Amino acid sequence: MTTAVIDNTNDNPRARSPLVLGDTSLTRVTDLVCSVYERPATRGWYIAFGISASLTLLLFAMIGYLFARGIGVWGLNHPVGWAFDITNFVFWVGIGHAGTLISAILFLFRQKWRTSINRSAEAMTIFAVACAGIFPLIHIGRPWLAYWLFPYPNQMAMWPGFRSPLLWDVFAVSTYATVSLLFWYMGMVPDLATMRDRATTRPRQIAYGLLSLGWRGSNRHWLRFEKAYLLLAALATPLVLSVHSVVSFDFAVSVLPGWHTTIFPPYFVAGAIFSGFAMVLTLLIPVRQIFGLKDLITPKHLDNMTRIILATSLMVGYSYAIEFFIAWYSGNSFELFAFLNRSLGPYWWAYWIMVTCNVIVPQVFWFKFFRSNTTAIFITSLLVNVGMWFERFVIIVTSLHRDYLPSSWGMFKPTAVDLLTMLGSFGLFFTLFLLFIRFLPFVAMAEVKSVMPHVLHEAGPTALGDYWGDAPRDHRAPDKGAH
Amino acid sequence: MKHAYDLSRDNVQFGDLGRRWGTIALAVGVLGTAAAAGLGFAAGDGGKRFFWAWLVAFAYFLAMGLGALVWVMIQHMTRSGWSVLLRRIAEGIAGALPMLALLFVPLLFGLGELYHWAHADAVAHDPLLAKKAAYLNVPFFVARWAIYFAVWCGTAWALSRASRAQDASGDPALTLRMQRVSYAMIVPFAVTLTFAAFDLLMSLDPHWFSSIFGVYYFAGAIWLFFAVMPVLVWRLQANGRLTGAITPDLYQEMGKLLFAFGVFWAYIAFSQFMLIWYANLPEETGWYLKRWNGGWPLVGLLLILGHFFAPFLLIMSRAAKRNLRILIPVALWAMLMQWLDFYYIAMPEYEPGSGRVPLSLLDLAAFLGVGGLFFWMVSRNLASAPLVPVDDPRLHESLVFEEGV
């Protein structure tokens, strides 16, 4: 098995770069992807799993402590009544957006390179939404009454506040979780059938047999699968925009300087996609290295993702700048104070971490040297994750800590419980992701095969090849185009 | 597999037809401008109504040109293949931006009639305007617009020149050059478009502010371009140009973009409205309150139904996007609705608070004046080169393009 990586990021307008490198036989794709879970787990995996599972336990311990003692164990107090909990919620919901963008919007845009990364990004979406969902639930004070968030007929004749964006969040996030889960699972069915067929032990045969829903890869199955895939992509596309827009409404519908500004919905969406792609890179760069998937997740894929990071970083930077300009232009001294205080006040360091990580550092991706340097990409992706966490912290805490009356001014200091709960949520996220690597198809095998050059050549643009992508060949030299 | 369509079977030269269209457009433009000037003079209001009509028409065709320009830039930045056949038409529209620089000049004579902030005595008596005077003042306004037009015209010119040079040489390096130009200019483009929207339309009410306003103008601009593109292609095909190369599959692509960005416009417009309505701060709601009485609520309702719901429902299905009897009327309707959107943004500030919708023949005359002169230049651009980039290295991808689903 050769894993020699050639540079497929060249910019030759006459030919499209191949999306799978090395030996491009279909069997090899299956072997490569299945080897990820068929090989016995390595010591490294056990160590990573041990650490993240311990952190998950820590998360649940912290939640138990919180339930026993009450919200006071967090650093929340007047005037900062929202801090780490909502920051973590927005951060994790945002992370999920890259998965939906890759699986839905890039699908509709016929971006074939998405096939190598969509499965893992969708999985990341589910796990991130799971982490996000925890925070509002544990923040409500009396979590055993969480079901009151749903509008159901009850003998108390009590209904949630339909005009509250917090209720819109309940609907937006639960819809998002449902559609993402369906999309992820449905897309996995053909690959689960492959795993069923390759399974050597009885439990695996039964488990994957059940999960693959009797998939036999017949024409009729594929026809329905493709229709359903397209419909789910179309349904998931507005969710990419709507979910984080609703999250932004949590802040923007208020009258608080620093929260209330009309650019918030698209600004939050851009930031969500930005942070999500950073997390995809954070996860995929080690995985492709450790599990030998460099021929599937190629330099081209990394290059494309860094371009999306650069584009969304510019959108986020645009929003920061326009917000600041309008704060001045509005002539409203409270508005201007909020922004000057944000950048020069007691939390100046958080603001400048945010600007540095989100706007300044990603500019390195203008240069090919950084787009093709895996270490540089990995470090940048980590910094973007940090920056985007701080963005939410800055928006939430700096806007709250200077109340309208100077006598009500205060500072927020996280407690150990705040910090450990956040750390624990990362533990849960990585635990789920590590389990996903071991038990489910990490790369969408069927989809990758459909964008490989010889499949496209034989099938032509009207067949499977076109379903997953455009028709990329040079008609003057059909065999040179792809290699 | 499908073989690429042989482009030599099509007529890709605008030629005589282009000259004929150009002459008609020029005649319409000159007559429209003359009529607008005459009606404006007859109104006896010192030209005020004329300047407002001209402003709306200018904002409209500027949006069309900027929509075309940013679309061309996006095609290069994303190394798009499917759209190559359509790119030259967008280059022709973007290439007419210099005409808009010329048509901007009349507005400079009406700044006092249009913008409250242009009056020194008003600024002196209004502490809010005094605070903004560092930005909202006539010399800086003029200087900004000089920069805006330099960025837009320069970008459109550079992209169009390289694209035409490629017709002769077929040099793939030119594709890379266009890509680099697009990357270099996208940030200046975003900044200039945003501030142009603030200057031209948002500052009509100098007290009001909305940080999403630049995105709002962008959404309208690109939607307008996506409406104009299928209509132009349809007229060209009806006159025997590009008859075989542009297939229903490409119309479906154009229809998809029109559909998607209609939703995007609605999303942006809703975000702005909902957040201002919900927070209910007097400094922001004033703008909508002026659109809350008299005839304006009807216009607003028409925008909700006509700008969003009608196109959304009519071209949602695949069959509708491939059927020119549906797609073209919807696109023409979309062009009208985008004009109405700009009218709704600008004209309530003409007599603030009166509630009157001051529709006038002047609006039509100014529209024809600006539009005629703009399309005169578009026709000249399109007639001076083939209608498609005939030796683009990715042309074959556009020629074999088929919808999978």
| Beta pairing partners, A80 | A77
Q: Any idea which of A251-265, B5-19, B339-353 has the lowest mean pLDDT?
A: B5-19
Cα–Cα distance for residue pair A199/A193, rounded to 1 Å:
10
**Residue A24 domain flag:** no
Q: CB burial class (10 A; 0-12, 13-18, 19+) of residue B280?
A: exposed
Would the CB atoms of B268 and A266 count as touching at under 8 Å?
A: yes
The residue type of B173 is A
Asked if B397 has any chain A CB less than 8 Å from its own CB, the reply is yes
A152-179 confidence digits (pLDDT tens)? 898 988 889 899 999 999 999 999 999 9
Chain B neighbors of A460, CB-CB under 8 A: 1-2
User: If you average pLDDT over every residue of chain B, what do you get?
Assistant: 95
Q: Which pLDDT score, from 0 to 100, does residue A343 have?
A: 96
Sort out which chain A residues have CB atoms less than 8 A from B116's CB and list them: none
User: B282: burial class by Cβ within 10 Å (0-12, 13-18, 19+)?
Assistant: exposed
In angstroms, the CA A34 to CA A441 distance is 7
Residues of chain A with pLDDT under 70: 1-6, 454-483
User: Searching chain B, which residue's CA lies closest to the CA of residue A263?
Assistant: B212
Residue A176 buriedness (CB in 10 A; 0-12 / 13-18 / 19+): buried
The Cα of B36 is separated from the nearest Cα of chain A by a number of Å equal to 34
Helix, strand, coil shares, percent, chain B, to 5: 75, 0, 25
* Best mutation target, B212, B218, B317, to test chain A (most A CBs within 10 A): B212
Nearest chain A Cα distance for residue B258, angstroms = 14
Residue A479 resides in a domain: no
Distance CA A51, CA A45 (A): 10
Determine which of A12-26, A132-146, B158-172, B340-354 has the lowest per-residue pLDDT on average: A12-26
In a domain, A454, yes or no: no
For the entire predicted model, the pTM comes to: 0.94
Both tokens assigned to B393: 């290295």
Contact B2 A472 (CB under 8 A): no
Answer yes or no: do B279 and A254 touch at CB < 8 A. Answer: yes
Contact B36, B369 (CB under 8 A): yes
- What pLDDT, on a 0 to 100 scale, did the predictor assign at position A455? 64
Nearest to A12 among B172, B194, B400 (CB): B172
| Structural domain count, chain A | 1
Is A30 among the domain residues?
no
Q: CB B402 to CB A466 under 8 A?
A: yes
Q: Which of B137, B179, B215, B405 to mutate to test the interface with A (most CBs of A within 10 A)?
A: B215
C-alpha closest to that of A296 among A12, A36, A14: A36
Please say whether the beta carbons of B290 and B284 come within 8 A. no
Of the CA atoms within 13 Å of residue B292, those in its CB half-sphere come to 8
Instruction: Report chain B residues whose CB lies below 8 A from the CB of A332.
Output: 283
Q: How many CB atoms lie within 10 A of CB B140?
A: 13
A478, part of any domain: no
Find all residues with CB under 8 Å of B252, minimum gap 6, and list them. B318, B321, B322, B403
Q: So what's the pLDDT on residue A62? A: 97
Cα–Cα distance between B80 and A165 in angstroms, integer? 39
Q: How many CB pairs under 8 A join A and B?
A: 129
Does residue A161 belong to the interface with chain B, where contact is any CB pair within 8 Å?
no
B197 vs B304: CA distance, rounded Å: 21
A100 Cα to chain B: minimum distance (Å): 17
Smallest CA-to-CA distance from A250 within A170, A174, A317 is with A170
pLDDT digits (tens, 9 = 90+) for A339-391: 999 999 999 999 999 999 999 999 999 999 999 999 999 999 999 999 999 99
Q: How far apart are CA A370 and CA A366, in angstroms?
A: 8
The answer to the question of residue A28 being in a domain is: no
A226 CB within 8 Å of a chain B CB: yes
B87 touches chain A (CB under 8 A): no
| B404–A466 C-beta distance less than 8 A | yes
Q: Which residues of A376-395 are buried (b: 16+ CB within 10 A; e: fewer)?
A: bbbbbbebbbbbbbbbbbbb
The rounded Cα A379 to chain-centroid distance in angstroms is 17
The answer, yes or no, to whether the previous bond of A441 is cis (omega within 30 of 0) is: no
For B46-83, what is each residue's pLDDT tens digit?
A: 899 999 999 999 999 999 999 999 999 999 999 999 99
The 3-class secondary structure across chain A, one letter per residue, is CCCCCCCCCCCCCCCCCCCCCCCCCHHHHHHHHHHHHHCCCCHHHHHHHHHHHHHHHHHHHHHHHHHHHCHHHCCCECCECCCHHHHHHHHHHHHHHHHHHHHHHHHHCCCHHHHHCHHHHHHHHHHHHHHHHHHHHHHCCCHHHHHHHCCCCCCCCCCCCCCCHHHHHHHHHHHHHHHHHHHHHHHHHHHHHHHHHHCCCHHHHHHHHHHCCCCCCCHHHHHHHHHHHHHHHHHHHHHHHHHHHHHHHHHHCCCCCCCCCCCHHHHHHHHHHHHHHHHHHHHHHHHHHHCCCCCCCCHHHHHHHHHHHHHHHHHHHHHHHHHHHHHHHCCCHHHHHHHHHHHHCCCHHHHHHHHHHHHHHHHHHHCHHHHCCHHHHHHHHHHHHHHHHHHHHHHHHHHHHCCCCHHHCCCCCCCHHHHHHHHHHHHHHHHHHHHHHHHCCCCCHHHHHHCCHHHHHHHCCCCHHHHHCCCCCCCCCCCCCCC
Q: Identify the pLDDT of residue A141.
A: 83
Q: What is the pLDDT of residue A456?
A: 60
Name the pLDDT band for B320 (thresholds 50, 70, 90): very high
CA distance B285 to B281: 6
Q: Which residue has the higher pLDDT, B8 or A409?
A: A409
Amino acid at A338: A
- Whether A265 sits inside 8 A of B209 (CB atoms) is no
Provide the residue range defining the domain that includes A157. Answer: 41-442
Supply B19's token pair.
């000259």
Q: Which two tokens stand for residue B401?
A: 């393009």
CATH number for the domain spanning A213: value is: 1.20.1630.10
Residues 332 through 391 of chain B touching chain A, CB cutoff 8 Å: none
Work out the minimum CA distance from B267 to partner chain A, whole angstroms. 9
Instruction: Return the residue matching tokens 């990419």.
Output: A240
Q: How confident is the model at residue B404 (pLDDT cuts 50, 70, 90)?
A: low
- Chain B segment 278-297 residues within 8 A of A by beta carbon are 278-281, 283
- The CB-based long-range contact list for B72-78 (8 Å cut-off, 24+ gap) reads B72/B156, B72/B159, B72/B182, B73/B155, B73/B159, B73/B182, B73/B185, B73/B186, B73/B189, B74/B182, B76/B159, B76/B175, B76/B178, B76/B179, B76/B181, B76/B182, B77/B179, B77/B182, B77/B183, B77/B186
Phi, psi of B360 (to 5 degrees): -150, 160
Q: Which two tokens stand for residue A13?
A: 């307008």
CB contact at 8 A, B351 and B8? no
Is residue A31 assigned to a domain? no
Decide if A449 is inside a domain. no
